[in-house]
Structure 1
Amino acid sequence: MFEHDFLALFPEIFLINATIILLIYGVVFSTSKKYYDYPPLVRNVGWLGLLSVLITILLVVGSPLAVANLVYNNLVIDNFTYFFQIFLLLSTASTMVMCLDYLKQESLNAFESIVLILLPTRSMLFLISAYDSIAMYLAIELQSLCFYVIAASKRDSEFSTEAGLKYFILGAFSSGILLFGCSMIYGFTGVTNFEELAKIFTGYEIITLFGAQSSGIFMGILFIAVGFLFKITAVPFHMWAPDVYEGSPTIVTASFSIAPKISILANMSRVFIYSFYDPTWQQLFFFRSIASMILGALAAMAQNKVKRLLAYSSIGHVGYLSIGFSCGTIEGIQSLPIGTFIYVLMTVNVFATVLALRQIKYIADLGALAKTNPILAITPSITMFPYAGIPPLAGFCSKFYLFFAALGCGAYLLALIGVVTSVISCFYYIRFVKIMYFDTPKTWWILYKPMDREKSLLLAITVFFITSFFPYPSPLFLVTHQMALLSGL
């Protein structure tokens, strides 16, 4: 049994050990004046961290076990787990590629930033495979503790300190709600394992099965749902996102927008579609999806700052992705990883562009970018169209699969509101293109330096996938369809 678990968890074990070794390496050499300068230390730690993530991807791909229950049924390995783990590691690698030049530009001599990106990655890998409420809560807490620190990592900035404090208070509050919900479920059912909970709830209504205890179980599941909604910035628990996204360093904002959503959405699929599936929760996600799409679309129209607009855009896209939960069908489960994959591609592309233009704070500052840097202006222009869901780019395919799943389960109102909010979002997404090509900035003092090679390669890869997905969607479609059928959800 121990050997079986060790083989399956070897990627996570390797990443943990690599992170600890990098931390020791940074601590030892940072005490030497010879190695304290930026190039020898921070960049070396960055490249070694990136290499560790890539090796972990190879270990996940080459895992000898296809399906297995691990550590006394606390973790599970299946197609669903493998897809989201590989996807998470690729997203982390993209974030670390963006980190390399950013730390040099900002003169941040802190190798700890790299370590604090690797540590939550380890926790998110466990969260994706979590098959027990205790393992789920511990994984969420381990990733949150690291994010609390890096949100306030820019110690000379009041905005960064404020962002870290807000994120810590609201994050701790949501974690407490989540833990309280898990304890209520355990108190009324006596089990914490997702498989055992699924056996209890399968084929029964909560009221008919538990009678007077049903209200306690209902409140427990509701508290768990609220804790998750805080973590993925869904309406009405989104209030922390705009301020934290704006105040945190840009590379931290990119981390918040990409990696946590992958792991949380994967675990929510196990909890609310496999273990706690009930028409009541389908209606909860139905209305939450509508609220997130409407608020994200309308609030983003009034934003003048780039990062606040991206925060509300993230809230809107969480609403679109929630359509997969609202459906509760195989098509809905399949559309969720497709939508998440394409959303992360677009988000990586946008944040790589924002990091390249690090002087940019307001949207109006992008004026005449097409004249000063025409090559760079093409990339965000291409990305804004799929964000708005305009064919024939990848964003249109993502929303098409999600709306098709909604129509398939009879949620016509959900699909209609999704289409309307997509049309509204065209206003502020295409406004980026209009400003870059047709507006003149108030001042011409901003000079755009050439982009580093790492971000250039990242932009090229993401643009390639965004533009090539529509003519050839079969590989991702087949993988997600097999994953939805065989994952046990």
Structure 2
Amino acid sequence: MFYLFESDFLGLIPETFLLLGLSALLGYGVWYEKGRESDMTSHQLWIGGLCLVFTFILLCESPLMNMILCYNTLIIDGMSAFLKSLILISTLCIFGLSFAYLPQERIKAFEFIILLLLATLSLMLMVSSYDFISLYLAIEFQSLGLYVLAALKRDNEYSTEAGLKYFVLGAFSSGFLLFGASLIYGLTGTTNFEDLGLLFTGVGPTDLFTQGSIVVGLLFLSVAFLFKVSAAPFHMWSPDVYEGAPTVITAFFSIAPKLALFGVLIRVFYLGFFDFLFSWQQIFFFCSLASMVFGSFGALGQVKIKRLLAFSSIGHVGYMLIGLATGTLQGLQGIFLYLLVYMIMTINAFSVVLSLRTREGEPKFLLDLKNLNLKSPILAITLSITLFSMAGIPPLAGFLSKFYLFFAALDASLYSLAILGVLSSVISCFYYISLIKLMYFHKADEVELKPILPIDSQKGLLLGLSFFGILFIFLYPSPFFLLSHAAALSFS
């Protein structure tokens, strides 16, 4: 009965191509490289990168822009297209960072690329999920790849610990998701988000017991998703996993899963449970506030670079939850704009960290940034501008995205959240600027200046493009406003 799914397969051409591409790459790795001693890392990365580029082209040129597929389990719309594009671009950037990193760390490119492409495919399916069953399958598909990627350096005990901790807590949060979804299914008889939205429209359940039970189910669902995006107070796994995983994998963890999961959060709560706005709004209000506070104060005591970036990521999640808590179209647009700017800033930060590698290895501690201005003035100014942007200093891109979210909160009468967001931004300036102090104002005679290894062309290109984006988005933000506004409108 192929004809039943004929148009469905047309809608899923980008995902199908990516699946076929990684299958071909799997065969290439198994058959062509078997027994070969030569290093084929760059070949595999180029092929994987081409798969992502062609998938991105197919996504942009798809004739089907609004469609429900596979018996109401998947959906294609402007929001999914926007987030899938960001996921593909971020994964392509991770490939660019990996050209020099994989040989230096002696990581096998073959399994790294296959797992990364599988995780990307599952994230794309997650963004398109329109039903709890397809959502759970996509989340588990993605999680299995990420567990292995976190523990990819098998001879490193920190990497093994990161993979194990991520696996245990990821399975724990999946249990919460299953329990919440099964509770809602038992009370309503449906797992489809649109059906749930129609069921609750206007009146909601008249039985107080049913209404209370659905709120409990929503609580379990929100806990599961907040675990996945590492929002406080469910953030405890994040710094350890970020610290133990290989740095390029840490960069992937920081960006791609958050892009997909915020799409899922919007889809579930805005489409399926919008009539319970006042119930889940309080959850996200509290978690947004907690994430901003924990992210800002937790980063103050850190001495390692990746742990600092992990707490910084927790703080950024807190800002994005402001947009989710507003329950408005302007809040959605603020989230999409923030996700775009956050992706650019994070890629730039990790590109700089990986560019600071010496013969002893990559920098691990904040003190390794001492006198960076003397070793590499260009990297020092690049990292400084990125840190200012993360702190929300005008006129950089980070200020633009925070400014828009705070105004969305004010429009939704969430004055306390907007004020506390500004205050936490001020606190975060302290540890960002302390890094700049280390780079520029540390006494030169106190440290031996170790020469930095030459930067490869792929990393240099990423540094240049992301730095350009951080500097100039504020000067001409219209295309990014239009993209984020179109994504928000397509959802509404």
Q: What TM-score results when the alignment is normalised by the length of structure 2?
A: 0.96
Q: Are the equivalent residues in 2 in contact too, given 1:15–1:53 (CA < 8 A)?
A: yes
Question: What residue in structure 2 maps to residue 106 of structure 1?
Answer: 105
Question: What residue in structure 1 maps to residue 456 of structure 2?
Answer: 452
CA drift of 1:482 comes to 2.2
Cα deviations by residue, 1:408-459 (Å, 9 ceiling, x for unpaired) = 0000000000000001100111112111111147542632112110010001
* Residue type at the aligned position of 2:118: L
SS at match of 2:259: helix
Q: Are the equivalent residues in 1 in contact too, given 2:45–2:109 (CA < 8 A)?
A: no
Q: Are the equivalent residues in 2 in contact too, given 1:37–1:109 (CA < 8 A)?
A: no
Question: What residue in structure 2 maps to residue 15 of structure 1?
Answer: 18
Question: What residue in structure 2 maps to residue 229 of structure 1?
Answer: 226
Give the 5 Å matches for 1:54-453: 54-206=53-205, 209-277=206-274, 278-358=277-357, 359-440=362-443, 442-444=446-448, 446-453=450-457
Distance in structure 2 (CA, Å) of the matches to 1:95 and 1:125:
16
CA drift of 1:149 comes to 0.4
Give the 5 Å matches for 1:461-472: 461-472=465-476
Cα deviations by residue, 1:336-359 (Å, 9 ceiling, x for unpaired) = 000111011100000111111232
Cα deviations by residue, 1:383-402 (Å, 9 ceiling, x for unpaired) = 01110000000000000000
* Residue type at the aligned position of 2:466: T
Cα deviations by residue, 1:77-113 (Å, 9 ceiling, x for unpaired) = 1111111111111111011111111102212234111
Distance in structure 2 (CA, Å) of the matches to 1:45 and 1:179:
37
* Residue type at the aligned position of 1:450: P
Distance in structure 2 (CA, Å) of the matches to 1:154 and 1:107:
9
Question: What residue in structure 2 maps to residue 27 of structure 1?
Answer: 30
Q: Are the equivalent residues in 1 in contact too, given 2:184–2:217 (CA < 8 A)?
A: yes
Q: Are the equivalent residues in 1 in contact too, given 2:334–2:405 (CA < 8 A)?
A: yes
Identical-pair percentage:
51
* Residue type at the aligned position of 1:435: L
SS at match of 2:31: helix
Distance in structure 2 (CA, Å) of the matches to 1:7 and 1:116:
25
Runs of 4+ that moved beyond 6 A: none
* Residue type at the aligned position of 1:326: A
Q: Are the equivalent residues in 2 in contact too, given 1:297–1:424 (CA < 8 A)?
A: yes
Distance in structure 2 (CA, Å) of the matches to 1:188 and 1:85:
33
Q: Are the equivalent residues in 1 in contact too, given 2:215–2:279 (CA < 8 A)?
A: no
1:37 aligns with 2:34: no
CA drift of 1:215 comes to 2.8
CA drift of 1:486 comes to 2.5
Q: Are the equivalent residues in 2 in contact too, given 1:197–1:275 (CA < 8 A)?
A: yes
Distance in structure 1 (CA, Å) of the matches to 2:87 and 2:388:
24
Q: Are the equivalent residues in 1 in contact too, given 2:375–2:449 (CA < 8 A)?
A: no
Which stretch shows the higher mean deviation, 214-223 or 394-403?
214-223
Which stretch shows the higher mean deviation, 88-97 or 369-378?
369-378
Distance in structure 2 (CA, Å) of the matches to 1:377 and 1:16:
40
- Which structure 1 segments of 5+ residues have no match? none
Distance in structure 2 (CA, Å) of the matches to 1:474 and 1:210:
48
Distance in structure 2 (CA, Å) of the matches to 1:425 and 1:344:
18
Q: Cα RMSD (Å) of the superposition?
A: 1.2
Distance in structure 2 (CA, Å) of the matches to 1:139 and 1:363:
37
1:487 aligns with 2:457: no
Distance in structure 2 (CA, Å) of the matches to 1:339 and 1:216:
34
Distance in structure 1 (CA, Å) of the matches to 2:84 and 2:425:
29
Distance in structure 2 (CA, Å) of the matches to 1:124 and 1:440:
46
Q: What TM-score results when the alignment is normalised by the length of structure 1?
A: 0.97
Q: Are the equivalent residues in 2 in contact too, given 1:84–1:266 (CA < 8 A)?
A: yes
Distance in structure 2 (CA, Å) of the matches to 1:95 and 1:170:
25
Distance in structure 2 (CA, Å) of the matches to 1:212 and 1:283:
20
SS at match of 2:75: strand
CA drift of 1:217 comes to 1.6
* Residue type at the aligned position of 1:256: F
SS at match of 1:69: strand
Distance in structure 2 (CA, Å) of the matches to 1:389 and 1:80:
26
SS at match of 2:68: strand
CA drift of 1:210 comes to 3.2
Distance in structure 2 (CA, Å) of the matches to 1:440 and 1:152:
38
* Residue type at the aligned position of 2:226: L
Distance in structure 1 (CA, Å) of the matches to 2:333 and 2:18:
29
CA drift of 1:328 comes to 0.4
Q: Are the equivalent residues in 1 in contact too, given 2:44–2:109 (CA < 8 A)?
A: no
SS at match of 2:207: helix
Distance in structure 1 (CA, Å) of the matches to 2:120 and 2:207:
39
SS at match of 1:76: strand
